[in-house]
Amino acid sequence: MDWFVYFMTRFPEFQAKCQEEIDRVVGPHQPSMKDRSKLDYTEACLFESMRLSNVLGLGVPHMTICDSQIGGYDVPKGTTVLVNFWALHHDPKQWKDPEQFDPHRFLDENGKMKFIKPESWLPFSAGRRVCLGETFAKPEILLMCANLLQRFEISLPEGVNPI
């Protein structure tokens, strides 16, 4: 959530669009799970925050259980492998303008969250070792962010610029 706050501070125009959506969808009551499916733009900003800012740059080390081939490379049994999440989330072959904060990459032409997440978006890891809390964490983080933006305009003191 820290990175979401950072990006909302850095890009107040995205923060304003999230707040407009929250005001329109939620109104004066506290955001809840029933609002989640209608907070597409806010969720897209959260997803983009998770893409640009990995909790860990590299995944947990794993060991291959058999001889394998990945991307044309031979990987012998017993080789330690790691996923480079930073490289995956900043790969220009997978992401247009990967260094830009662009929540629209997660939205369809109607402004709704795309049903299928991109294969190269793995903030919770993947496979058998995927974070067990992913299905609980994403909605909860969204609600925390929506609650925060509903109540506050996040900004830096005058004269201070985000890095």
Q: Is position 163 within any domain? A: no
Q: What is the mean pLDDT of the chain?
A: 91
pLDDT (tens digit, 9 = 90+) per residue, 47-96? 999 999 877 778 888 899 999 998 899 999 999 988 898 999 999 999 99
Report the percent of the chain where pLDDT is more than 70: 99
Q: Is position 66 within any domain? A: no
pTM of the model: 0.88
H or E segment to which residue 70 belongs = strand 68-70
SS3 label, residue 146: helix
- 27: domain range? 2-54+84-151
Q: Is position 77 within any domain? A: no
H or E segment to which residue 155 belongs = none
Q: Indicate if the pLDDT at residue 142 is higher than 90.
A: yes
Q: Indicate if the pLDDT at residue 163 is higher than 80.
A: no
**Residue 92: its pLDDT value, please?**
95
Q: Is position 73 within any domain? A: no
Q: Is position 141 within any domain? A: yes
**Residue 119: its pLDDT value, please?**
84
Q: Please name the residues in contact with 56: beta carbons below 8 A apart, sequence gap of 6 or more.
A: 85
Q: Is position 25 within any domain? A: yes
Q: Is position 92 within any domain? A: yes
Closest CA to 134 of 117, 110, 113: 117
Beta bridge partners, 107, equal 113
Q: Quick one: average pLDDT of 2-14?
A: 93
Looking at per-residue pLDDT, the higher value among 122 and 1 belongs to 122
**Residue 125: its pLDDT value, please?**
81
Q: Is position 29 within any domain? A: yes
Q: Please name the residues in contact with 85: beta carbons below 8 A apart, sequence gap of 6 or more.
A: 54, 56, 57, 58, 59, 122, 123, 125
Q: Indicate if the pLDDT at residue 7 is higher than 90.
A: yes
Q: Domain tally for the chain? A: 1
pLDDT (tens digit, 9 = 90+) per residue, 16-46? 999 999 999 999 999 999 999 999 999 999 9
